[in-house]
Structure 1
Amino acid sequence: HLVPDIPRNAEPRTGLSMGEHAAVTARKRGITRAAQDELAAASHQRLAAAYERGFMDDLVVPYAGLTRDQNLRPGSTVERLGRLKPVFGVAGGGATMTAGNSTPLTDGAAVVLLGSDEWAAGRGLEPMAHLVACETAAVDFVHGDVAGGEDGLLMAPAYAVPRMLERAGLGLDDFDFVEVHEAFASQVLATLAAWEKRGLGTVDRERLNVAGSSLATGHPFAATGARIVATLAKLLAERGRPGRGLISICAAGGQGVTAILERQEA
């Protein structure tokens, strides 16, 4: 009998999973278990609150009886997350990454309608936000994670965001919302630290992933980007006044994609 090989969730050039790559970065940058669990708990609590206040009602389409992301754990706390055993980076000692502070692989789909103001007006549609800037970057993660170099697999946004902000003439303080894809809590914290090291300053945690993110929703590959764009667009639209949001997404292959959304008028 012919049995197909089950695809591995691993980088072809290294054979390591994203989690193992992220564990290298976490260890190298001194990201603590406590900080990771705190970020993960906040993601679940904020997504739960977003559902409770009805924010997700027109963002999530019910299907087959499901009305909420099944990965969501509303009762998540730092204490409960602290009971979980590490699952990544265990062989190296001092492991800090668990199933609780890492996003699970999930199934899902997302869609964003992108068009010009003229196209929308001709169809009676009101834009929720405008895409005003974007930037991409890539890092040599093979030499970074395997040979002890500077850059880890998921650290490309550390380069893309500074370039984009410099071109736009903006700083982190100019954003009402900051949406960072939570592939792993450690990767988010490493990215924030890298931005600070590059002189961008610190991100106000009250503006970071205010409706929860991938640690709570799960991470269906390719759909996560559209989910984040849709969430940020609605956050901007519901404020009733002009605003600006930053998107930062790490990806396989050492890639990073970043963007700026603006709500230019109430």
Structure 2
Amino acid sequence: MASGSAAKPTPADTGARRRVAVLGGNRIPFARSDGAYASASNQDMFTAALGGLVDRFGLAGEKLDAVIGGAVLKHSRDFNLIRECVLGSALSPYTPAFDLQQACGTGLQAAICAADGIAAGRYEVAAAGGVDTTSDAPLEVGNELRRTLLALRRSKSNMQRLKLIGKLPATLGVEIPANKENRTGLSMGEHQAITTKKMGIKRVDQDQLAAASHRNMAAAYDRGFFDDLVTPFQGLYRDNNLRPESSPEKLATLKPVFGAKAGDATMTAGNSTPLTDGASTVLLASEEWAAAHKLTPLAYFVDSETAAVDYVNGPDGLLMAPTYAVPRLLARNGLALQDFDFYEIHEAFASTVLCHLAAWESEEYCKERLGLDAALGAIDRSKLNVNGSSLASGHPFAATGGRIVAQAAKQIAEAKAAKKNKPVRALISICAAGGQGVAAILEA
């Protein structure tokens, strides 16, 4: 062994965790299903979003330590989706990549995975995000046809093949992806309608929150907030679900679309997110990598928490897992719910956000469900989704997390410029199918 001074210990050697910088993000405008991106694939969209990130941060030819992302709806051809997108970008082909999936939490979970790698010293720089299209949803053949076709491939003789071919007309069938929970047969909207009614969330409050989301996002676009977060794609420059003219009065005229069977239905197409296509990315790095590349962090990725609930046999609503994740995250970081400058709560439905807030304000819920000594309390609603959220932008399932992380980081950077001597924090909370929830804290 060569003599000389010992190598400097790395975070991986010492167990120390490094700070993780959020440098920025890029996404394509989100589009309502079967519209502007009807002919675009997951690979088309994520490659475009990643390409915009590469251009924005001068990463052409750069080898990243990882690109992590995923899609909820995938064709069989998408089995190595994120790596294929890397190969279609200007990044070095030596950049490794992998897919993950946690329903609507996919994008945030990808960022968490990247952040954990950087904090532990395994990565210096990584990109994370997600993509989804309901326009180009995968169609599958029925199980009987699939089994027959597989048997046909395995058959050894012409006689066997003829017998199997004779079965084909009777076994033809196509399965279209269903927007429902496998365990219950109910759609996410129907599940949320049950929780909405149980928690007494009013229609007028849902419509006000939805209108505010559109109003806030439209204003953010107008003042240029999204100029360095969004790149055009296939003729779109803004999310085409955005309705600047939306108002509680206009939303009040819409008929309910979820919960009609239970009576007192309050959830409409206007206060629920539409099916959406789109892709998002976010760039994370160590402070050392950022400094070496002369990039200023917008914020730091502090911590995260994931939770799940029993929505099948237990007392919890399908989308209530974030109410469990957030208090655990707060306790671990010595923070109160009120210790944040921004609250980025994913608007799967307006009533979902309102149910979460009501749960945290309820002493009974916090004690009996969450095991807390008291209610977490109320937040300052003026700090909620200040530049709009999913009701305005739309919600391409796996892409929402990347949008929110990049948006929150930029909000923190802007606020920090005016609040230099005090920490600025954002709490991110995303509900997901399967009774799961993901939460994170950003800070500067």
Superposed pair shares fold, TM > 0.5: yes
Match 1:250 to one of 427, 431, 434 = 431
Q: Give the CA deviation at 1:123.
A: 2.1
Match 1:114 to one of 257, 281, 284 = 284
Match 1:217 to one of 387, 393, 401 = 393
TM alignment of 1:15-30, pairs within 5 A: 15-30=185-200
1:195 aligns with 2:367: no
Distance in 2 between residues matched to 1:87 and 1:236, nearest whole Å? 36
TM alignment of 1:94-243, pairs within 5 A: 94-144=264-314, 149=315, 151-197=316-362, 198=366, 199-239=375-415, 240=417, 241=420, 242-243=423-424
Distance in 1 between residues matched to 2:379 and 2:246, nearest whole Å? 23
Distance in 2 between residues matched to 1:72 and 1:59, nearest whole Å? 16
DSSP 3-state at the match of 1:110: strand
Q: Give the CA deviation at 1:124.
A: 2.1
Q: Give the CA deviation at 1:3.
A: 5.1
Q: Give the CA deviation at 1:176.
A: 0.5
DSSP 3-state at the match of 2:280: coil
Show CA shifts across 1:79-100 (max 9, x none): 1000000000111111000000
The change in CA–CA distance for 1:46 and 1:92 in structure 2 (over 3 A counts) is same
The percent of aligned pairs where both chains have the same amino acid is: 67
DSSP 3-state at the match of 2:412: helix
| Larger Rg over CA atoms | 2
Q: Give the CA deviation at 1:120.
A: 1.7
**Superposed structure 1 runs of 4+ greater than 4 Å apart:** none
Residue type of the partner of 2:208? E
Distance in 2 between residues matched to 1:229 and 1:261, nearest whole Å? 8
Show CA shifts across 1:166-206 (max 9, x none): 11111122100010000001110000011112311111111
TM alignment of 1:43-58, pairs within 5 A: 43-58=213-228
DSSP 3-state at the match of 1:22: helix
Distance in 1 between residues matched to 2:296 and 2:247, nearest whole Å? 39
Q: Give the CA deviation at 1:143.
A: 1.9
Distance in 2 between residues matched to 1:58 and 1:4, nearest whole Å? 42
The change in CA–CA distance for 1:63 and 1:3 in structure 2 (over 3 A counts) is farther
Show CA shifts across 1:13-45 (max 9, x none): 111111000000001111110110010010000
Show CA shifts across 1:55-103 (max 9, x none): 0111111111110000001011111000000000111111000000001
Q: Give the CA deviation at 1:117.
A: 1.0
Q: Residue 441 of structure 2 corresponds to which residue in structure 1?
A: 260
Q: State the Cα RMSD in Å.
A: 1.1
Aligned pairs, number = 258
Which sits farther off after the overlay, 181-190 or 167-176?
A: 167-176
Distance in 2 between residues matched to 1:123 and 1:9, nearest whole Å? 44
Distance in 1 between residues matched to 2:237 and 2:244, nearest whole Å? 15
TM score, norm. by length of structure 1: 0.95
Distance in 1 between residues matched to 2:173 and 2:388, nearest whole Å? 40
Distance in 2 between residues matched to 1:76 and 1:86, nearest whole Å? 17
DSSP 3-state at the match of 2:304: strand
DSSP 3-state at the match of 2:376: coil
Q: Give the CA deviation at 1:122.
A: 2.2
Residue type of the partner of 2:291? A
Distance in 2 between residues matched to 1:217 and 1:161, nearest whole Å? 24
Match 1:5 to one of 175, 183, 186 = 175
Distance in 2 between residues matched to 1:130 and 1:180, nearest whole Å? 18
Q: Residue 48 of structure 2 corresponds to which residue in structure 1?
A: none
Q: What are the ranges of 5 or more consecutive residues in structure 2 without an aligned counterpart?
A: 1-168, 367-374
